[in-house]
Structure 1
Amino acid sequence: MSLIGRTVRVRVPATTANLGPGFDTLGLALSLYDELEVSVRDAPGACVAVHGVGAGEVPTDESNLVVRAIAHTFRALGQDLPGLDLIAHNSIPHGRGLGSSGTAIVSGITAARGLLDGVVDVDDNRLLALATEMEGHPDNVAPALFGGLTIAWTTPEGPKHKKLMVHRGVSPLVLVPEFTLSTELARSLQPESVPHEDAVFNVSRSALLIAALTQSPELVFESTEDRLHQTYRGSAMPQTRDLIAVLRDAGYAAVVSGAGPSILVLCTSPAERAVAADLAVSSGESPWRALPLAVDVKGATVEFVS
């Protein structure tokens, strides 16, 4: 069956992982999106046009991460990769802890699934496994794929996830700085072991955070305390560390978004979120962009154009 002429449009949300205590486990999809159009052509290879974030910076050939994700999916499903034209409209900042690499991977895998519709059936578990193979951890790709609040874990049979709906009283705020931080550097600062009491502390806070986000938003401040990763990574992003301290001293549930350096603030109303945003913008030594966002509940979507 020829795929030439097939076109799909894909929309994938930004994500924030860890959420404080849920290291490498919890993730949240946010209403900030990268959009992609992929068409199959006669000529081999791939040509990528990038608009918005990453324009003039990311590769526009077969080495592009989205193209690599499409190729990975076709290969895993036993299909030959056709020639591709891609148009990407990116809004998610790169290198800021908002899951941009996971979003690119999920964009490619979702596009491949759409292009192969009617040729190969791919269930959600296989999608998560393919995405995790490329990303290395399921905590960002799970919410990008499925939306909402996700708990992700690994098993001998592969990664798994559980999607939960977030209480309508939770109002996320993301604070994005001008500087970037590599995930590899952030992870290199993690100790190989932590004190037993710190592990127990995070287990309790992670359990409490699930309750706070799904049932009891008034518990969100206490439930976002962490002893496993944020303190160790603070030296790599002192401006993030210091602004989180200012926000938490003022009573706001501020945490590092993913590996950083962006900050996630889980507020309990739009009014509280507006005050927190004003405090952050006026307190930071360098400029911070405040993004009041909603929780995305759909995850990655695909539209068949032709």
Structure 2
Amino acid sequence: MFEVKVPATSANMGPGLDTLGVAFKLYNRFIVEEIETGLEILGCDEKYANSNNLVYSSMLKTFEKLEKVPKGIRLTFKTDIPVSGGLGSSATCILAGIAAANRICGDVLTKQEILNFACEIEGHSDNVTPALAGGMTVSIITKGVIHYNKIPISDGIKFCVLIPKLQLATEDSRAVLPQRVPLKDAVFNVGRVSMLIVALVNGDYEGVKLACKDKLHQPYRMGLIENYSEITSFVHDTKALGVFLSGAGPTIMVMLKKDDNSTEKKLNEFLKGLSGYWETLNLEIDQSGLEIIDL
């Protein structure tokens, strides 16, 4: 029996569509036990407690890849990451399933192979990479292989997460994206991704604020999220370093200076006046990524 612990992640980070991501100290934990036969899933919503469960289906795909016939499995969920909330809950399930099956098979797959396979299932690398490796990462995919680097963010920055009482499926959020964009929009994002990475490393706060702007996904997704325009407009008029949609949404991420407590208080007061319900949460960066703990 063992536990797989996987951190929440925020993908895209403004202009970094499908390439940038960061892991946080907010976790989904999955206790895995081999039993004689059958499948038992405990601690999750009843509609997910079946063979279509993303953790279990990822395990089965891994067993098939490794040519292993599994015994029965008992999974116990201890989850703190909102489902369909833009904080990488599906990535935690996919990685947990692969890592669990790999552990049962004797840790046959390397970390790189786990990453490649997780991306094959997930379809993109910006969540699975920081969830596995920890920290902030930039990743690209070449012929099915993920190449990534970790980005050492300045310790003068903190993250405040705004979570609405709303679920937004990634498929629905992706459906609104255009297949083609103007060259000027692509150039706009290339420059800001480059600026964002350098500014976060150097602690260039003004650079961070400029670099969070985006023309590839946020303008198209904003209409799916109630209060998005009002919130981002309010944040732009504060001392905040930047604001961006977390993953495909609906969660919104705000970056602040570590010693800035006044902006957070103003933001909380502003959110209380909106028609929708928003919860704020301060998150620290997780530098370790996925962990397996023997029980």
**TM-score normalised to structure 1 length:** 0.90
Residue of structure 2 equivalent to 1:64: 53
The number of residue pairs the alignment matches comes to: 292
Residue of structure 2 equivalent to 1:48: 41
Verify the 8 A CA contact 2:176 2:221 in the aligned structure 1.
yes
1:266 equivalent to 2:259? Answer: no
User: Where do residues 179-258 of structure 1 align in structure 2 (5 Å cutoff)?
Assistant: 179-218=166-205, 219-252=207-240, 253-258=242-247
Verify the 8 A CA contact 1:17 1:139 in the aligned structure 2.
yes
Verify the 8 A CA contact 1:33 1:91 in the aligned structure 2.
yes
User: Where do residues 1-306 of structure 1 align in structure 2 (5 Å cutoff)?
Assistant: 7-43=1-37, 45-50=38-43, 55-117=44-106, 120-218=107-205, 219-252=207-240, 253-272=242-261, 274-275=264-265, 277-305=267-295
Cα distance, 1:154 vs structure 2: 0.8
* Structure 2 Cα separation of the partners of residues 299 and 276 of structure 1: 32
Verify the 8 A CA contact 2:133 2:287 in the aligned structure 1.
yes
- State which drifts further: 182-191 or 57-66: 57-66
Cα distance, 1:176 vs structure 2: 0.2
Verify the 8 A CA contact 1:40 1:82 in the aligned structure 2.
yes
Residue of structure 2 equivalent to 1:4: none
% identity of equivalent residues: 34
Cα distance, 1:39 vs structure 2: 0.6
Cα distance, 1:276 vs structure 2: 5.7
* Structure 2 Cα separation of the partners of residues 116 and 241 of structure 1: 49
Structure 2, unpaired ranges of 5+: none
* Structure 1 Cα separation of the partners of residues 271 and 170 of structure 2: 25
- AA partner of residue 202 (structure 1): N
* Structure 2 Cα separation of the partners of residues 71 and 270 of structure 1: 47
* Structure 1 Cα separation of the partners of residues 7 and 252 of structure 2: 17
Is the partner of 1:151 in helix, strand or coil? strand
Verify the 8 A CA contact 1:114 1:304 in the aligned structure 2.
no
Verify the 8 A CA contact 1:247 1:276 in the aligned structure 2.
no
- Kindly provide the CA deviation profile for residues 147-177 of structure 1, in whole angstroms up to 9, marking residues without a partner as x: 1011111101422222223221120111000
Cα distance, 1:195 vs structure 2: 1.4
Cα distance, 1:283 vs structure 2: 4.7
Cα distance, 1:234 vs structure 2: 1.5
Q: Cα 1:157–1:183, aligned 2, differ >3 Å: closer, same or farther?
A: closer
Is the partner of 2:127 in helix, strand or coil? helix
Verify the 8 A CA contact 1:172 1:294 in the aligned structure 2.
yes
Verify the 8 A CA contact 2:95 2:128 in the aligned structure 1.
yes
Q: Cα 1:163–1:113, aligned 2, differ >3 Å: closer, same or farther?
A: farther
Q: Cα 1:280–1:224, aligned 2, differ >3 Å: closer, same or farther?
A: farther
* Structure 2 Cα separation of the partners of residues 276 and 166 of structure 1: 25
* Structure 2 Cα separation of the partners of residues 81 and 271 of structure 1: 51
Cα distance, 1:214 vs structure 2: 2.0
RMSD of aligned residue pairs (Cα, Å):
1.7
- State which drifts further: 248-257 or 292-301: 248-257
Is the partner of 1:69 in helix, strand or coil? helix
* Structure 1 Cα separation of the partners of residues 269 and 192 of structure 2: 26
Cα distance, 1:247 vs structure 2: 1.0
* Structure 2 Cα separation of the partners of residues 231 and 177 of structure 1: 19
Q: Cα 1:231–1:8, aligned 2, differ >3 Å: closer, same or farther?
A: same
Is the partner of 1:139 in helix, strand or coil? coil
Cα distance, 1:271 vs structure 2: 2.8
Verify the 8 A CA contact 1:247 1:280 in the aligned structure 2.
no
